[in-house]
């Protein structure tokens, strides 16, 4: 048994707590931002409004504070949205927390001052002096995990022994763990699949979508190599596995279907998905300033088409 702190009470952070608890770990969860999730997690029944299920009674909720981060945890899990990464990075750095960190958050961060794009693990290491960083990625839908549907994910760390230590503490009969040393490639895949699942969703029939799937994989391979990850990671759960799940029925794919029908992004968002977070859109706005300047458009035509559709609010045109 180990003591685990999950920072982020949204769907994925809360769902992740279930296999952790089933492994007889002592699990504490906290939520820095959302009043809704704070109310859910602090209630007697722990009914989670996003997951539509009562979470385990053994799950401990504590109000977020600096003092909480100072407690003696064996593993800290970051399950915040991308916008919360800098906040928690500064908190951990200022408090000089040495606890191993596992990142569930998917995305990339653009540092404008130095014109560089970082994975979240790179950001924690280079900007916030955190050394022991692992990442958990893969085709995992929170609503399926929380109902104990078979789920396979990948834990990545350059030190494979640390990845396996984490995997041993969180795996169950339904929550299956694979491992990788290629943390950069795993994080790149898990982020950009949100963009490519939107593009695949734009296909108006299975034939068109399958062609876009294949072209998307080619662009993802190029980008992984560009950012010094391993091309073979595309074949893993973090690559083709996660892309398949997102393209088959996620919010990004749903938005892509509207773009494929000829709607401009702003109109589609307002008319059909006003209250939904579209992760692919957020990533586009985050990484486009770097990608447009640094990478040849001819190498990633699908991604650049989506940039134009979202940033310039033009109709999506895919050749």
**222 and 280 together in one domain:** yes
CA 138/CA 186 separation, integer angstroms? 9
Count of structural domains within the chain: 2
Of the candidates 239, 190, 215, the residue with the CA atom closest to the CA atom of residue 306: 215
- pTM for the model stands at 0.92
Q: What is the pLDDT of residue 142?
A: 93
**28 and 131 together in one domain:** yes
Domain that holds residue 272: 188-311
Q: Is 185 exposed, middle or buried (0-12, 13-18, 19+ CB in 10 A)?
A: buried
CA 303/CA 108 separation, integer angstroms? 15
In a domain, 69, yes or no: yes
Q: What is the pLDDT of residue 276?
A: 85
**168 and 217 together in one domain:** no
Query: Both tokens of residue 56?
Result: 């385990």
**43 and 170 together in one domain:** yes
**150 and 285 together in one domain:** no
**149 and 229 together in one domain:** no
CA 155/CA 157 separation, integer angstroms? 7
**172 and 196 together in one domain:** no
Q: What separation in angstroms does the CA of 148 have from each of 167, 171, 304?
A: 17, 12, 38
Q: What is the pLDDT of residue 221?
A: 96
**CATH number of the domain encompassing residue 43:** 3.40.50.720
**37 and 85 together in one domain:** yes
- The residue from 151, 181, 211 where one domain ends is 181
Flag residues of the chain having pLDDT under 50: none
**34 and 164 together in one domain:** yes
CA 42/CA 47 separation, integer angstroms? 9
Q: What is the pLDDT of residue 77?
A: 98
Q: What is the pLDDT of residue 249?
A: 80
- The residue from 181, 211, 244 where one domain ends is 181
What is the longest distance spanned by two Cα atoms in the chain? 55
In a domain, 123, yes or no: yes
Q: Over the stretch 141-152, which tens digit does the pLDDT of each residue have? A: 999 999 999 999
**171 and 40 together in one domain:** yes
Degrees, nearest 5: CA angle 71-49-92: 25
Are the C-beta atoms of 86 and 111 separated by less than 8 Å? no
Q: What is the pLDDT of residue 76?
A: 97
In a domain, 90, yes or no: yes
- The residue from 123, 154, 181 where one domain ends is 181
**170 and 203 together in one domain:** no
**130 and 218 together in one domain:** no
In a domain, 305, yes or no: yes
In a domain, 316, yes or no: no
**CATH number of the domain encompassing residue 271:** 1.10.1040.10
Q: What is the pLDDT of residue 65?
A: 94
In a domain, 317, yes or no: no
* Neighbouring residues of 57: CB distance < 8 A, sequence distance ≥ 6: 46
Query: Both tokens of residue 86?
Result: 């800098």
CA 152/CA 107 separation, integer angstroms? 20
Directed axis angle between helix 183-201 and helix 301-311, to 10°? 70
In a domain, 279, yes or no: yes
Find tokens 């009914």 and name the residue: 47
Q: What is the pLDDT of residue 131?
A: 82
In a domain, 254, yes or no: yes
Q: Over the stretch 152-202, which tens digit does the pLDDT of each residue have? A: 999 999 999 999 999 999 999 999 999 999 999 999 999 999 999 999 999
End-to-end CA distance of the chain: 53
Q: What is the pLDDT of residue 2?
A: 96
């Amino acid at each position: 048994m180990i003591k685990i702190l999950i920072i982020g009470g949204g769907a994925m952070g809360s769902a992740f707590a279930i296999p952790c608890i089933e492994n007889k770990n002592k699990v504490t969860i906290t939520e820095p931002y959302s009043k809704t999730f704070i109310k859910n997690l602090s209630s007697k029944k722990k009914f989670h409004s996003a997951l539509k299920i009562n979470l385990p009674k053994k799950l401990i909720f504590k109000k977020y504070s600096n003092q909480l981060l100072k407690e003696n945890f064996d593993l800290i899990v970051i399950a915040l949205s991308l916008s919360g990464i800098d906040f928690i990075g500064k908190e951990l750095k200022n408090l000089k927390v040495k606890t191993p960190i596992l990142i569930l958050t998917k995305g990339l961060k653009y540092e404008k001052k130095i014109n560089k794009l970082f994975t979240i693990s790179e950001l924690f290491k280079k900007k916030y002096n955190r050394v022991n960083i692992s990442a958990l990625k893969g085709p995992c839908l929170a609503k399926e995990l929380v109902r104990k549907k078979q789920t396979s994910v990948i834990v990545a760390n350059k030190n494979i022994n640390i990845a396996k230590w984490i995997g041993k503490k969180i795996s169950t009969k339904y929550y299956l763990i694979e491992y990788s040393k290629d943390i950069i490639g795993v994080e790149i895949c898990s982020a950009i699949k949100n963009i490519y699942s939107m593009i695949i969703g734009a296909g108006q029939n299975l034939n068109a979508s399958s062609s876009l799937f294949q072209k998307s994989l080619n662009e993802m391979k190029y980008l992984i190599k560009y950012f010094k990850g391993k091309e073979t990671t595309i074949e893993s759960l973090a690559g083709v596995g996660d892309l398949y799940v997102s393209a088959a029925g996620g919010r990004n794919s749903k938005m892509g279907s509207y773009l494929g029908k000829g709607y401009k992004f702003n109109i589609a968002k307002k008319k059909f998905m006003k209250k939904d977070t579209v992760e692919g859109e957020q990533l586009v706005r985050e990484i486009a300033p770097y990608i447009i300047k640094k990478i040849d458009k001819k190498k990633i035509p699908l991604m650049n088409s989506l940039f134009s559709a979202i940033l310039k609010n033009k109709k999506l045109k895919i050749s």
